[in-house]
Amino acid sequence: MSKRALKKYLKEVPKTALEEQVLDLYERFPVVKEYYNFIFNPREDKLVQEAKTKISNEYFPVKRKRPRARRSVAQKYIKHFIKLGVNPPLIADVMLYNLEIAQLFAQERNVNEAFFKSMLNSFKEVLQFVSINALLPQFKDRIIKIYKESQEKNWMYSEGFSRALDIIDN
């Protein structure tokens, strides 16, 4: 169904029928329920704290012995927050937190090349996000700290981290 056809349908359907359909969608689809819960009660700080807890549990697990260190966990939260319309500074905070916790993990463990490549991708994404949303003044210190850590510890792809900083210079 096209957007135009949907608009036409919505104009023709009685208000009570629309209300019933929205309630049905709310009950059937968890995504719709979550969306409306967020719109009417946007506890962004709670969502961010929950995401940070899950991300840190990936690298420093509480209940299991071995860390999984999956970047995808943080990426899912970030994409979800963007879809919901969470405040951009909070999204940037989660993105930077992911890199910071990964750097702590890399200090304690031997990590493979894929880990470093993944963190470089995360670094590029956070720089792009911060640049697009004009958040550089707010997050510059954390970005520089992450960059310096990658250089001091001789991370693989350290030249990629240097090139990525060009995004915010332009």
**How much of the chain, in percent, has pLDDT values that exceed 70?**
98
Question: Is the pLDDT confidence value at 19 over 80?
Answer: yes
Question: Is the pLDDT confidence value at 170 over 60?
Answer: no
99 and 138 within one domain: yes
Question: Is the pLDDT confidence value at 113 over 80?
Answer: yes
Domain with 119 in it: what CATH number? 1.25.40
118 and 128 within one domain: yes
User: Which residues contact residue 138 at a Cβ distance below 8 angstroms, ignoring those fewer than 6 apart?
Assistant: 89, 92
69 and 130 within one domain: yes
59 and 15 within one domain: no
- For the stretch 38-71, pLDDT in tens is 888 788 888 899 999 999 998 898 888 888 888 8
* Residue 170 or residue 32, greater confidence: 32
104 and 27 within one domain: no
pTM of the predicted model as reported, rounded to 2 decimal places: 0.82
d(CA 125, CA 84) in angstroms, rounded, equals 18
Structural domain including 46 reads: 42-169
Question: Is the pLDDT confidence value at 4 over 70?
Answer: yes
- The whole-number pLDDT of residue 165 equals 85
Start-to-end CA span in the chain (Å):
42
156 and 132 within one domain: yes
128 and 73 within one domain: yes
Q: Mean pLDDT, to the nearest integer, of 162-169?
A: 79
Number of structural domains (the chain) is 2
149 and 88 within one domain: yes
58 and 30 within one domain: no
Q: Mean pLDDT, to the nearest integer, of 142-169?
A: 86
98 and 65 within one domain: yes
46 and 29 within one domain: no
Q: Mean pLDDT, to the nearest integer, of 132-158?
A: 90
102 and 127 within one domain: yes
Cβ-based burial of 114 (10 A; exposed 0-12, middle 13-18, buried ≥19):
exposed
